[in-house]
């Protein structure tokens, strides 16, 4: 999208999230004028996440977010947007291609009717994107990321898939036969933004709104691994699609969140990609080409001889006493990881701000550094034996970037404390790695 679009205010960001923009203020003639609502919503995301933490502690007496799970979710959100450093979003590119060549009619971009029609069209498209993402195993391999947290809070909303965007665009193409790309570009963002605030346990019931809208209550069911929750409530903004197509379920028993087979790790690339490997291995256990193919295109629970979606009764039963995976690690280490996470978040922000003036080579290098950092912090949270060595290597990379990097910190007055902290980190992990090597050697002796 465009560099010429006006930046939006925080208040507009808040209203965009709750679908409170008027057609008048959010209709544009060209794609270039469409504001980057999602990218500019970060302050709103952060503000609401902090609010949820405070209200959560006051209301329940316990934190609603853990450092390990929350940071893993936000990391997934960061990774899912890295392709945008190299290319325009798949959804919009494919859409514009079809619009340019195959459109049948041209709905007026400045009509409120077009705006409302597109809202409904994008939401219906999302329903089917989402339903296919759950019912076709190879698409589930991408979407399972969003369901891999065993917690349910606003950070869970950011736990997005890196690979899903490369398939979801297909479902919106019918709209490109009539709806101008500039109107689509607004609604594809509003649809995503709306789905942020519904990821919370603090809002119990919204009365009559529950009939029409997708709400925290309905979406909790969607994230459940209880039998009654599986493959239910796919809606984005509206829940009417689920009521219409027979996939609606009301929240009843206590919802236990996460995947049917929890992954129990914070290793970020594993969270994103493990299910592809899992499918490949499963398909290899089958003899016939038909069964091998079915592993990828039928439901994730499908087995030979079963119906298309398989039998969910075969999956592990939920008892209601499940406890989410939590590493139980030391406080100082939690603070360490938190501080380094904030530092890489600043770097991430900087790269996005400067992407137009950075070379492709630099951008690729920074993507590598961001992935290395998030992986290394995940290793620390997982308390892996190799965490010390990896973190030492990462600190070397970070010191190098700080010394020779071209990226300017938005807080120059913090440059000295940051460098001191980074140097201390490097020293700490170098000693850790060294003592680890010694103890391995001792064991070998
Ligand atoms: Zn889902
Ligand atoms: Zn969700």
257 has which bridge partners?
224
The rounded Å distance from CA 148 to ligand 2 centre is 10
Task: Tell me the H-state helices in 307-414.
Answer: 331-353, 360-382, 387-404
| Per-residue model confidence (pLDDT) at position 318 | 87
Please write down the long-range contacts of 34-38, taking CB distance under 8 Å and 24 or more positions apart.
34/1, 34/2, 34/5, 34/182, 34/185, 34/186, 34/189, 35/5, 35/6, 35/7, 35/8, 36/1, 36/5, 36/189, 37/8, 37/13, 37/186, 37/189, 37/190, 37/193, 38/189, 38/192, 38/193
Ligand 2 centroid to residue 223 C-alpha, Å: 6
Ligand 1 center to 145 CA (angstroms): 9
| Domain contains 274 | no
Q: How far apart are the first and last CA of the chain?
A: 61
pLDDT at residue 280, rounded to an integer: 97
Q: Residue 278: is its pLDDT beyond 60?
A: yes
Does residue 271 fall inside a structural domain? no
Mark which of 245, 274, 309 sits at the end of a domain: 245
Non-local (6+) Cβ contacts of 188 within 8 A are: 91, 92, 122, 172
| 213-247 CB burial, b ≥16 within 10 A, e <16 | bbbbbbbbbbbbbbeebbbbbbbbbbbbbbeeeeb
Residue 435 lies in a domain: yes
Is the predicted pLDDT of residue 441 greater than 80, yes or no? no
Same-domain status, 227 and 338: no
pLDDT in tens, 228-268: 999 999 999 999 999 999 999 999 999 999 999 999 999 99
Residue 42 lies in a domain: yes
pLDDT of residue 439: 79
> In this structure, how many other beta carbons lie within 10 angstroms of the beta carbon of residue 284?
9
Ligand 2 centre from 111 Cα, in Å?
A: 31
pLDDT of residue 3: 47
Ligand 1 centre to CA of 133 (Å) is 7
Average pLDDT, the chain: 92
Ligand nearest to the CA of 158: 2
How far away, in angstroms, is 264 Cα from ligand 1 center? Answer: 19
- Residue 149 domain flag: yes
Is 45 in the same domain as 186? yes
CA–CA distance, 128 with 172 (Å, rounded to integer): 9
Q: Give a yes or no: residue 220 inside a domain.
A: yes
When mean pLDDT is compared across 355-359, 407-411, 427-431, the lowest value belongs to: 407-411
Question: 157 C-alpha to center of ligand 2: Å?
Answer: 6
Q: Which region among 86-100, 277-291, 400-414 has the lowest average model confidence (pLDDT)? A: 400-414
Q: Do 118 and 216 belong together in one domain?
A: yes
Ligand 1 geometric centre to CA of 403 (Å): 43
| Gap from CA of 337 to ligand 1 centroid (Å) | 29
Query: Which residues have C-beta within 8 Å of that of residue 416, sequence separation ≥ 6?
Result: none
More confident of the two residues 372 and 326: 372
In this structure, the answer to whether residues 93 and 195 fall within a common structural domain is yes
Residue 120 has pLDDT above 50, yes or no: yes
Q: Say if residue 336 is in the same domain as residue 232.
A: no
Percentage of the chain beyond pLDDT 70 is 97
Q: Tell me, what's the pLDDT at 4?
A: 62
CA 69 – CA 336 distance, rounded (Å): 15
Type and span of the H or E element at 97 = helix 90-102
Nearest ligand atom owner, CA of 139: 1
Boundary residue ending a domain (245, 270, 297): 245
Rounded Cα distance, 358 and 143, in Å = 31
The bound ligand whose nearest atom lies closest to the alpha carbon of 127 is: 1
Answer whether residue 255 is part of any domain.
no
* Nearest ligand (C-alpha, residue 159): 2
Domain count, the chain: 2
Name which of 65-74, 155-164, 338-347, 399-408 the model is least confident about: 399-408
Whether 223 and 349 share a structural domain? no
Residues 228 and 336 in one domain: no
Rounded to whole angstroms, how far apart are CA atoms 374 and 268?
Answer: 7
| pLDDT for residue 1 | 41
Least confident of 34-38, 53-57, 317-321: 317-321
Q: Domain for residue 76, yes or no?
A: yes
Q: Tokens representing 278?
A: 């899992």
Give yes or no: residues 240 and 350 share one domain: no
Residue 335 belongs to what domain range?
331-444
**Domain termination residue (choose one: 202, 219, 245):** 245
pLDDT surpassing 50 at residue 415: yes
How far away, in angstroms, is 127 Cα from ligand 1 center? 10
Measured from the alpha carbon of residue 225, the closest ligand is 1
Answer yes or no: do 58 and 165 share one domain: yes
Q: 107 and 182 in contact (C-beta within 8 Å)? A: no
Output the CA 234–ligand 1 centroid distance in Å.
7
Burial of 97 (0-12, 13-18, 19+ CB in 10 A): middle
Q: What percent of the chain has pLDDT over 90?
A: 74
Above 90 in pLDDT, residue 421? no
Least confident of 105-119, 179-193, 297-311: 297-311
Residues 234 and 371 in one domain: no
- SS3 state of residue 324: coil
């Amino acid at each position: 999208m465009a560099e010429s679009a006006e930046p939006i205010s925080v208040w507009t960001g808040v209203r965009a999230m709750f679908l409170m923009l008027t057609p008048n203020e959010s209709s544009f003639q060209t794609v270039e004028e469409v504001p980057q609502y999602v990218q500019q919503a970060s302050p709103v995301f952060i503000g609401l996440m902090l609010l949820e933490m405070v209200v959560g502690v006051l209301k329940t007496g316990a934190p609603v977010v853990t450092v390990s799970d929350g940071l893993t979710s936000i990391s997934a959100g960061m990774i899912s947007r890295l392709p945008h450093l190299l290319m325009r979003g798949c959804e919009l590119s494919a859409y514009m291609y079809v619009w340019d060549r195959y459109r049948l009619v041209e709905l007026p971009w400045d009509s409120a009717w077009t705006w409302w029609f597109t809202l409904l069209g994008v939401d219906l498209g999302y329903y089917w994107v989402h339903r296919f993402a759950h019912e076709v195993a190879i698409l589930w391999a991408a979407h399972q990321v969003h369901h891999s947290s065993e917690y349910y809070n606003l950070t869970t909303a950011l736990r997005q898939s890196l690979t899903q965007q490369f398939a979801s665009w297909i479902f919106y193409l019918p709209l490109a036969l009539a709806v101008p790309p500039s109107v689509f570009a607004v609604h594809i963002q509003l649809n995503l933004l709306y789905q942020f605030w519904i990821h919370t346990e603090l809002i119990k019931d919204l009365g009559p709104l529950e009939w029409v809208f997708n709400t925290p209550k309905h979406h909790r069911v969607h994230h459940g691994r209880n039998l009654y929750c599986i493959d239910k409530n796919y809606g984005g903004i509206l829940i009417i699609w689920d009521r219409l197509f027979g996939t609606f379920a009301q929240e009843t028993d206590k919802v236990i969140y996460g995947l049917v087979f929890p992954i129990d790790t914070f290793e970020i690339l594993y969270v994103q990609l493990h299910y592809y490997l899992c499918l490949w291995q499963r398909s290899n256990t089958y003899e016939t080409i038909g069964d091998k193919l079915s592993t990828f295109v039928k439901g994730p629970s499908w087995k030979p001889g079963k119906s298309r979606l398989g039998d969910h009764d075969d999956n592990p039963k939920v008892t209601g006493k499940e406890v989410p995976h939590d590493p139980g690690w030391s406080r100082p280490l939690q603070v360490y990881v938190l501080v380094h996470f904030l530092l890489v978040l600043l770097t991430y922000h900087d790269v996005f701000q400067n992407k137009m003036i950075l070379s492709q080579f630099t951008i690729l290098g920074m993507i590598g550094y961001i992935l290395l950092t998030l992986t290394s912090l995940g290793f620390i949270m997982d308390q892996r034996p190799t965490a010390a060595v990896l973190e030492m290597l990462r600190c070397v990379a970070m010191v190098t970037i700080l010394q020779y990097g071209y990226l300017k910190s938005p807080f120059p007055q913090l440059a000295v404390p940051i460098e001191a902290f980074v140097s201390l980190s490097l020293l700490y992990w170098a000693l850790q790695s060294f003592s680890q090597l010694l103890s391995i050697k001792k064991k070998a002796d």
